[in-house]
Structure 1
């Protein structure tokens, strides 16, 4: 039984649950309503279910793709630990559970707020169902399905506590589009490009001729595209200063924000092996999260941002321990072949 449960943790990628949940939590923090402790609990529970169900569905569509990666055993269906029927039942059950959790919002929210929650959840959930079904085989869909999903999940967080968006909400949606989703897919496209090409995935990495174990150069279209995404992220982060007019945030942006993102792009330029890219991705997740969360400092102050970072990293570490085949794990690569 324990082995079966751990297989569901593997296919559901529990390490990323708090990363996804924090998107809705930040949305709530940027809204016109106050956030209470039970809202954090609610977002965590619904994200556990939605995140695992969607990743299970995506993993079912990745069986052929995983056969070409360096860790095909991370997919429990490919490894024979779960059947396709068990995985699909988990997806169906998780989807129904999410619908139920949205419906119970009627107990303490007005009908308009609950309606907005449903309307936001449709593209947030549906775009990733599309991604797992056919989306990877279409240009733009591979690179931007998560952008659509997470943007609406930010708004779900706003409406789920009875609030409305503020300027900080729209700034954070920009952060999510450029850093948390589009650039994350840029990184995934880079590290998995040969496997993606072999099964017909239409990522920007594939169509621009990127190859694994081949170093990018400054003028390569894919590297320039990545720089454009980072520039968009920095622009969204800088726009928070125009609202706050906080000199300390400006100094933080100049001293930490810009150098950290330049360093990430430098690493992608000088490193070439997929395992090295995975190390850089772990750094980027941490660096970008700290800068991205900081854009709401004018609305929340410092303490909620510190707690968010603890929530993100703590949940990531716990999820990594629960998973038996974890693709991204701090210290995971110390004994890996170079």
Structure 2
């Protein structure tokens, strides 16, 4: 039984649960409503179910792709440890539980807030179902399905606590689009480009003729596209400063925000083995989370942001311990280059 649960943890990518939950939590923090401890618990439970169900569905469509990557063992369906039927039952059950969890909001929210929560959750969930079904093989869809999904999940967080969006909500959605999703897919597209190409995935990396064994130069169109995403991320971060007009936050952007993002892009040009790519992605997750969460400092002050970072990294570490075949894990890069 425990081994079977571990298989679901593997296919459901437990390490990313708090990343998903934090998107809704930040949405709630940017709203006009106050956020209580039980809201955090609620978002965490919902994220556990939705994140694992969606990643299970996506993994079912990645069986052929995973056979071409250097870590095929992370998909227990590929190894025969979990059947497709069991995985699909988990997807159906998880989807039903998510619907019930949103319906429960009616116990303490007005009908309009519950309706808006449903209207935001369905596209957030649906775009990732589309991604897992056909989206990866459609140009642009691979790179931006997560952007659309997570943007709606930010708004779900707003309405699930009975609030309304504020300027900070829209700024954070911009951060999510450029940093948390589009750039994450830029990284994934770069890391898995040869495997993607072999199975017909139409990522922008594939379209731009990137190759895993070919050095990505600073003038390459795909690298320049990645730089554009980082510039967009920084612009929304500076928009948060413009809205708050906080001198300390401006200094933070100048001495941490800009250098950290330049450093990440520098590593992508100079450190190009698969293992180094994963190290850079882990660094980017940490650096971008600190910078991205900081955009709401004018609304929340520094303590909630610090707690969010602890929540994100702590959940990531716990999830990577539970996950037996974790591709991204701090301090563990044993696969040879």
**Where does residue 256 of structure 2 map in the other structure?**
256
Question: What whole-Å deviation, never above 9, does each CA across 1:86-140 have from its counterpart, x for those lacking one?
Answer: 0000000000000000001111000000000010011100000000000000001
Cα shift readout 1:29-73 (whole Å, capped 9, x = no counterpart): 000000000000000000000000000000000000000000101
Structure 1 contact 214–273 (Cα < 8 Å) conserved: no
Match runs of 1:227-246 below 5 Å: 227-246=227-246
CA deviations over 1:217-261 (Å, ceiling 9, x no partner):
111110010000000000000100111111000000000000000
Kept in 2: contact 1:175–1:237 (CA 8 A): yes
Alignment partner, residue 159 of structure 1: 159
Cα distance in 2 for partners of 1:218, 1:317 equals 33
- Please give the root-mean-square deviation of Cα atoms over the aligned residues, in Å: 0.5
Shift of 1:276: 1.0
What is the match of residue 315 of structure 2? Answer: 315
Gaps spanning 5+ residues in structure 1: where?
none
Structure-1 separation of matches of 2:331 and 2:112: 47
| Count of aligned residue pairs for this structure pair | 337
Q: CA deviation at 1:209?
A: 0.5
Instruction: Give secondary structure in 1 for the equivalent of 2:324.
Output: coil
1:336 is aligned to 335
- Aligned-pair CA distance for 1:213: 2.5
* Structure 2 alignment gaps of length 5 or more: none
Paired position in structure 2 for 1:44: 44
Q: After the TM superposition, which residues 259-298 of structure 1 pair with which residues of structure 2 at under 5 Å, given as runs?
A: 259-298=259-298
TM-score (norm 2): 0.99
In the alignment, what sits opposite 1:183?
183
- Determine the structure 2 residue equivalent to 1:221: 221
When the two structures are superposed, what TM-score results if normalisation uses the length of structure 1? 0.99
* Partner-residue secondary structure (3-state), 1:222: helix
Aligned-pair CA distance for 1:80: 0.7
Query: Cα deviation per residue 1:199-226 (whole Å; 9 max; x = unaligned)?
Result: 0000000000000022111111100100
Q: Which residue of 1 aligns with 2:324?
A: 324
Alignment check: 8 A CA contact 1:27 1:169 kept = yes
What residue number does 2:206 align with?
206
Moved over 3 A (4+): none
CA contact (8 A) 1:215 1:271 kept: no
Task: Give 3-state SS (helix, strand or coil) of 1:52's partner.
Answer: helix
Alpha-carbon distance in structure 2 between the residues aligned to 1:100 and 1:336: 42
Which moves more between the two structures, 214-223 or 35-44? 214-223
Q: Deviations over 1:266-320 (max 9, x none)?
A: 0001122121111100000000000000000000000000000000000000000
For 1:336 and 1:124, locate their aligned partners in 2 and report how far apart those are by CA, in whole Å: 34
Matches within 5 A, 1:66-81: 66-81=66-81
Residue in 2 that maps onto 1:62: 62
Question: Could you say which residue in structure 2 is the equivalent of 1:121?
Answer: 121
Q: Secondary structure at the match of 2:92?
A: helix
| Match in the other structure for 1:149 | 149
Q: Equivalents in 2 of 1:48, 1:214: separation in Å?
A: 38
Aligned equivalents of 2:114, 2:168: Cα separation in 1: 22
Give distance in 2, aligned partners of 1:332 and 1:147: 29
- Equivalent residue of 2:32, what SS? coil
CA distance in structure 2 between the partners assigned to 1:28 and 1:215 by the alignment = 42
Asked if 1:110 corresponds to 2:110, the answer is: yes
Q: Is the 8 A contact 1:120 1:152 kept in 2?
A: yes
Name the SS for the 2:206 alignment partner.
helix
Q: Distance in 1 between matches of 2:283 and 2:274?
A: 14
Question: In the aligned structure 2, how far is the partner of 1:138 from the partner of 1:293?
Answer: 31
Superposed counterparts of 1:133-144, under 5 Å: 133-144=133-144
